[in-house]
Amino acid sequence: MKKILVLHTGGTISMQADSYGNVNPSADNPMNHVGFELDDIDLTVVDFFNIPSPHVTPYHMLALYHKIRDTAGQYDGVVITHGTDTLEETAYFLDTMAVPQIPIVLTGAMRSSNELGSDGVYNYLSALRVASYDKAADKGVLVVMNDEIHAAKYVTKTHTTNVATFNTPTHGPLGIIMKHEILFFKTAEPRVRFDLDQISGTVPIIKAYAGMGVGDGIISLLDPDKIDGVVIEALGAGNLPPEAASEVERLMQQSVPVLLVSRCFNGIAEPVYAYDGGGVKLAETGVMFVKELNSQKARLKLLIALSAGLSGQDLKDYIEG
Ligand code: ASP
């Protein structure tokens, strides 16, 4: 018998549509009334939060981490139900914390509990199956949706409404859920883990575009005294218009760490081009290139690193590692 802790946090999986088709939170979580029998799973269910995931902040993520940390040794696995909008961020955050080495699985739904073709109960059951599967224990935090198992580090929401929204660009999923079996075909990467008691900081994300910095001085609008860092979604392999690159340099001269990812959906940013604003020049001026994370996860990586007290070369090594 596997002991699984379920932490419900809200999101569409716990919501209901009204007669106009508008989707609303529900005080009584429908996942607490699902009709499946689980002979070999002993569930402990906690309604931890009941919020839409656009309301989730790093403080909520930290509270989830503390709950999992503080119950270490009591459970064989954890399932977290979560709104899909920011699910990947909570998954990545937990994956970067010193969580116990048991399966930790996040799931959600694209259609609320009383909509036609609702996917909530199915995803919940799939998540419970994965959380009670021994081979899921050393794969890092997992996201289970629509019969696929994804690594928290790489997964992202790719569609506004489709139930096949969660994808892992560049790498592909870690495994799949079959009718009778769970199949992993990849292993998880080793990672640095932190045991944070607090998290704070202000790190905006800015997307690059053709003509950025030409007349708009967009980066100069940031007050270096009010931010702790910036993440830039750069062009292509990791380049900026020259005017924007000059503004970035000025920001870094005022001790603001600048992280760079690509705005491309696939691939990894790296210093390739040596023209003005190109990645080679940006790296030379101190911009940190983040591998394999999208901007929302790179932002969390910086918040976590700063909250853990990293600075200087240690910060650079962690961010670029
Ligand atoms: N807006 C919803 C949320 O993230 C979407 C969902 O749960 O699928 O809470």
Kindly list the structural domains of the chain, giving each domain's residue range(s) and its CATH number in brackets, ordered by start: 2-184 (3.40.50.1170), 205-320 (3.40.50.40)
Span of 68-72, 95-99, 114-118, 245-249 with lowest mean pLDDT: 114-118
Span of 32-41, 74-83, 179-188, 273-282 with lowest mean pLDDT: 32-41
Which of 319, 321, 294 lies closest to 306, judged by CA? 319
Residue 207: partners with Cβ closer than 8 Å, 6 or more residues away: 232, 233, 263, 295
Measured CA distances, 214 to 36, 65, 230, 315 (Å)? 59, 43, 19, 31
Higher pLDDT, 16 or 204: 204
Predicted local distance difference test score (pLDDT) of residue 56:
98
Tell me the mean pLDDT in the region 88-96. 98
The structure tokens listed for 182 are 């769970």
Are residues 164 and 146 in contact, defined by beta-carbon separation less than 8 angstroms?
A: yes
Confidence at 145, pLDDT banded by 50, 70, 90: very high
Beta bridge partners of 25: 15
Report the atom number in ligand 1 closest to the C-alpha of 82: 7
Predicted local distance difference test score (pLDDT) of residue 200:
96
Other beta carbons within 10 angstroms of residue 294's beta carbon come to 22
Confidence at 74, pLDDT banded by 50, 70, 90: very high
β 41-47/258-262 pair status: unpaired
How remote is the CA of residue 108 from the centroid of ligand 1, in Å? 8
pTM summary value: 0.96
With 90 as the cut, is the pLDDT of residue 235 above it?
yes
Within 13 Å, how many C-alpha atoms sit on residue 257's CB side?
Answer: 27
How remote is the CA of residue 120 from the centroid of ligand 1, in Å? 12
How remote is the CA of residue 299 from the centroid of ligand 1, in Å? 20
Predicted local distance difference test score (pLDDT) of residue 167:
97
Pocket of ligand 1 (CB under 6 A): 11-12, 52-53, 83-85, 108, 110
Active-site positions read: 12
